Amino acid sequence: MKTTLVRIGNSRGIRIPKPLIEQCGLGEMVELRVGKDCLIISPDRRPRQGWDEAFQASGHTGDDELMLEATKHNEFDRKEWRW
């Protein structure tokens, strides 16, 4: 799709058709960045958005254990390490 840049004061803008806005999930705020001579427009998302849902979806396996308890003591642990 091609579109024309329109003047907005000293800047320029584009009109994004509603179907593209809906398809991309764009809201009132967007994030703009440049990548390989392209302008990239993406939905504004808060940091770590969706992490909690992904963590919950990973489920509890029941075989979780601490790494420190799973490793065997070595010479350093027995002679040099002090709490």
Name the residue ranges covered by the structural domains of the chain: 1-45
CATH class of 1-45: mainly beta
**For position 80, what pLDDT does the model report?**
82
**For position 70, what pLDDT does the model report?**
65
- From the list 44, 39, 37, 33, the residue with the least C-alpha distance to 14 is 39
- From first to last of its 83 residues, the chain has per-residue pLDDT tens of 889 999 999 999 999 999 999 999 898 999 999 999 999 999 887 778 788 888 888 777 666 666 666 677 788 887 887 76
**Residue located via tokens 């504004």:** 44
**For position 52, what pLDDT does the model report?**
85
Q: What's the number of CA atoms in the CB half-sphere (13 Å) around residue 49?
A: 5
**For position 82, what pLDDT does the model report?**
75
Phi first, then psi, for residue 38 (nearest 5°) are -125, 145
**For position 33, what pLDDT does the model report?**
93
